[in-house]
């Protein structure tokens, strides 16, 4: 990602957008009330910043190049999202009405947005100034100027310093997402030229099967050798915040359908249910009688800490039982769970895809359950209205394609497992 103060100036983006739309520098200059030399200079600086030609100047007008077409779409989305952020109710009401939004946006400069985002991400004005490489008095002046433009308090005094208000935090989040459009536009241009620069950041949840994601990533990496990928593993709440803040591009894992988030879209890829897992040779694997919950309660279990979805499924399995099984070892590591299971008579829950790995089927076996143990579907989480780059879109297409076969495979009986009879477990 480019450093904050390297972001192009708004007058450059506006000059290019107007020219691309009107296909005429003369008309664009008149619209923006600029001289044609000033408009031409702004576009030239923007092309230099990007490192590619965006417009072809001909006698009949000025027309976008392939790179210009790509970038114009992103610039349009950028300004639309800036406007949406001040029109959408924040903290009880919109900042401005639709009639006056254009006039307010015309007063904004890139430094206003960069300062707000930097202050929102910092503990103080001093830290924000260091982030941007400017002096604190300059940062404070710009911060106050933005408050005057928006006619809204964006900062609160706390003790000897300042902090971003609720209005300011939400506005900074939305504008940060808007800035990603410009970064995406540059990445798309670089990708078209076969140059290094495209980078995808993927959030992945703990304890989610990585097989599908790894397969899709391997293929995309082969198809696009200039692309770079970063996989960040985090808990669901952290992942959701990172996605909404623009720190990651998309998320993969177990879906939860969170309430109160109208800017998040969840897409089911496949269902990967839990199975009860023990080592081969476990006393329960050789039982010649119908298993009961009491049989399962006779052994220790290994589970993640309370609060996670896997632990919640464990709790639901033994809901109503007066004394559930003992859990003395808690871990989120599937590898550690496997090693503990194969060397003891403990029990755990794996997903079917985890269980179906060859190395697991040699040493482990799954047992039938009282019913299908509750588990949320696995899938994708993206921002509402997100427009993926071609490389991101290819990754999504492969994930959807491979999820079909993954889902079918997970429905098959696990090799070496007893046939599943969902009605045989009960408390006797």
pLDDT digits (tens, 9 = 90+) for 35-55: 999 999 999 999 999 999 999
Task: Give the least confident one: 44-48, 145-149, 349-353.
Answer: 349-353
Contacts with 398 (C-beta within 8 Å, 6 or more apart), sequence order? 215, 216, 219, 220
274-367: CATH number: 3.40.190.10
Q: Of 91-95, 196-200, 348-352, which has the strongest mean pLDDT? A: 348-352
Confidence of residue 411 (pLDDT cuts 50, 70, 90): very low
Q: Do domains 4-174 and 195-271+377-411 have the same CATH topology?
A: no
**Which pTM does this prediction carry?**
0.80
Confidence of residue 117 (pLDDT cuts 50, 70, 90): very high
Residue 174, pLDDT above cutoff 50 = yes
Residue 277, pLDDT above cutoff 60 = yes
Distance in angstroms (rounded) separating the CA atoms of residues 189 and 198: 9
Residues of the chain with pLDDT > 90, as a percent, come to 53
Give the pLDDT score at 423: 29
Give the pLDDT score at 381: 95
Mean pLDDT of all residues in 56-78: 94
Per-domain boundaries in the chain:
4-174, 195-271+377-411, 274-367
Mean pLDDT score of the chain, rounded to an integer? 85
What is the architecture of the domain spanning 195-271+377-411? 3-Layer(aba) Sandwich (3.40)
4-174: CATH number: 1.10.10.10
pLDDT digits (tens, 9 = 90+) for 371-385: 567 788 889 999 999
Do 106 and 113 meet the contact criterion of CB atoms below 8 Å apart? no
Residue 199, pLDDT above cutoff 90 = no
Give the pLDDT score at 372: 66
Q: Of 15-19, 406-410, 424-428, which has the strongest mean pLDDT? A: 15-19
Residue 163, pLDDT above cutoff 50 = yes
Higher pLDDT, 96 or 302: 302
Give the pLDDT score at 237: 87
Residues of the chain with pLDDT > 70, as a percent, come to 88
Confidence of residue 394 (pLDDT cuts 50, 70, 90): very high
Contacts with 134 (C-beta within 8 Å, 6 or more apart), sequence order? 5
Mean pLDDT of all residues in 83-96: 79
């Amino acid at each position: 990602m480019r450093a904050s103060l390297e972001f192009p100036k708004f007058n450059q983006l506006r000059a290019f957008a107007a020219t691309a739309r009107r296909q005429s520098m003369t008309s664009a200059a008149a619209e923006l009330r600029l001289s044609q030399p000033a408009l031409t200079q702004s576009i030239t600086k923007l092309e230099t910043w990007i490192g590619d030609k965006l417009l072809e100047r001909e006698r009949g007008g000025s027309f976008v190049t392939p790179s210009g077409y790509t970038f114009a779409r992103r610039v349009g989305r950028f300004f639309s999202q800036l406007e949406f952020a001040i029109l959408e109710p924040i903290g009880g009401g919109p900042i401005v009405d639709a009639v006056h939004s254009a006039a307010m946006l015309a007063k904004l400069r890139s430094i206003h947005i960069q300062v707000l985002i930097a202050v929102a991400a910092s503990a103080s004005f001093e830290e924000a100034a260091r982030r941007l490489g400017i002096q604190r008095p300059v940062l404070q002046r710009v911060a106050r100027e933005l408050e005057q433009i928006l006619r809204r308090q964006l900062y609160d005094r706390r003790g000897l310093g300042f902090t971003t208000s609720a209005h300011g935090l939400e506005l900074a989040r939305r504008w940060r997402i808007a800035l990603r459009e410009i970064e995406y536009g540059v990445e798309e241009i670089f990708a078209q030229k076969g140059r290094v620069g495209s980078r995808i950041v993927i959030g992945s949840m703990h304890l989610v099967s990585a097989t599908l994601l790894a397969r899709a990533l391997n293929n995309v990496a082969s198809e696009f050798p200039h692309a770079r990928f970063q996989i960040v593993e985090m808990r669901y709440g952290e992942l959701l915040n990172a996605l909404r803040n623009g720190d990651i591009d998309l998320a993969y894992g177990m879906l939860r359908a969170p309430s109160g988030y109208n800017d998040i879209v969840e897409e089911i890829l496949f269902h990967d249910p839990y199975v009860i897992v023990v080592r081969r040779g476990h006393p329960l694997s050789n039982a010649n009688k119908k298993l009961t919950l009491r049989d399962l309660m006779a052994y220790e279990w290994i589970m993640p800490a309370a609060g996670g979805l896997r632990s919640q499924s464990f709790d639901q399995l033994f809901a109503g039982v007066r004394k559930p099984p003992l859990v003395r070892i808690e871990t989120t590591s599937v590898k550690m769970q496997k090693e503990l299971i194969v060397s003891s008579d403990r029990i755990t829950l794996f997903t079917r895809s985890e269980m179906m790995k060859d190395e697991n089927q040699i040493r482990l076996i799954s047992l039938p359950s009282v019913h299908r143990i509750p588990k949320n579907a696995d899938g994708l989480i993206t921002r509402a209205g997100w427009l993926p780059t071609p490389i991101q879109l290819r990754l999504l297409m492969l994930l959807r394609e491979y999820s079909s076969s993954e889902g079918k495979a997970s429905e098959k009986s696990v090799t070496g497992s007893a046939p599943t009879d969902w009605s045989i477990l009960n408390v006797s």
